[in-house]
Amino acid sequence: MPGARGRKRADLNRIPCTYPGCPVRVKSARGLTYHVNSVHQNPNTLHTGDDVDMPDDFGTPPPQLSPPHEQPRSSKTYHPFLTGQPCDENGAFLPAGTPPPLRTTAPNDDWSPYDDSVQFNIANFLFRRVQMASKNIDFLLEQWALSLMKHNDLGPFENYQHLYETIDATKLGDAPRKCLQTEPLADGEDAPAWARQSYEVWYRDPEVVISNILDNPDFDGAFDTAPYVHLDSNGKRRWHDF
């Protein structure tokens, strides 16, 4: 066995680990690289503090993997002025945390805009359940009115227009339908047929639709009240969120 002096001389020829507090010495620079990569890159690796004989034929240490890059996230940039901050009926901004005004509940016998429960049930049956055509609705209501003339009474609706107008006036989060009639773009004989015609455009007032959404407590916190620019994780702009 080699004496203590021989071991000490051999220790002086070894390369010390440059990691603070590590007493390990190795034979070569390759061994030092292997030691640092295998021990100090993994803080859970333990060593005894003794000199470690690193093999000289372990080859080139594996390349160190770069830490994973954090994936870019989507972002929203809100409008600096159109903030959607709640305000009163005069446009004055309310302090943060101001509760909404108390909601009023209609009594159970209030069928407005219908005269009573019978008129409501007839409208619900004709329009929603059987989806009766307008001509058939007029025929039914006409016969209904004739049968009540002897009692000096009227049917639930005058005609299908009266029925539809009453349904549209129902304030249950709905917006009445409106009709816009266009004028012909041209009247000359050489103009195409579609340009010489008038068209009906049925729509619902966007202001009423938005007011109903804002008034519905079921939508509280379910949408953004301020406009924003939405960029996805690739930096591409999203134009819709549905």
**pLDDT, tens digit (0-9, with 9 covering 90-100), for 6-44:** 444 555 567 777 766 677 787 777 777 776 666 665 444
The model carries a pTM of 0.40
- The average pLDDT across 81-88 equals 88
- The average pLDDT across 49-63 equals 50
pLDDT at residue 189, rounded to an integer: 86
**What is the residue extent of each domain of the chain?**
1-61
Q: What does the pLDDT look like over 172-220, one tens digit per residue?
A: 667 878 889 999 999 888 899 999 999 999 999 898 888 888 888 888 8
Q: Write the DSSP string, the chain.
A: ---HHHHHHHHHTSEEP-STT---EESSHHHHHHHIIIIITSTT----SS-----TTS-SPPPPPPPPPPPP--EEEE-SS-----B-TTSPBPPTTPPPPPPP---TT--TTSSSHHHHHHHIIIIIIS---HHHHHHHHHHHHHHHGGGT---S-SSHHHHHHHHHT--SS---EEEEEPPPS--STTS-GGGGS--EEEEE-HHHHHHHHHH-GGGTTSS-SS-EEEE-TTSPEE----
pLDDT at residue 41, rounded to an integer: 55
pLDDT at residue 66, rounded to an integer: 59
Write down the mean pLDDT value for the chain. Answer: 80
Count of all residues that appear for the chain in the document: 242
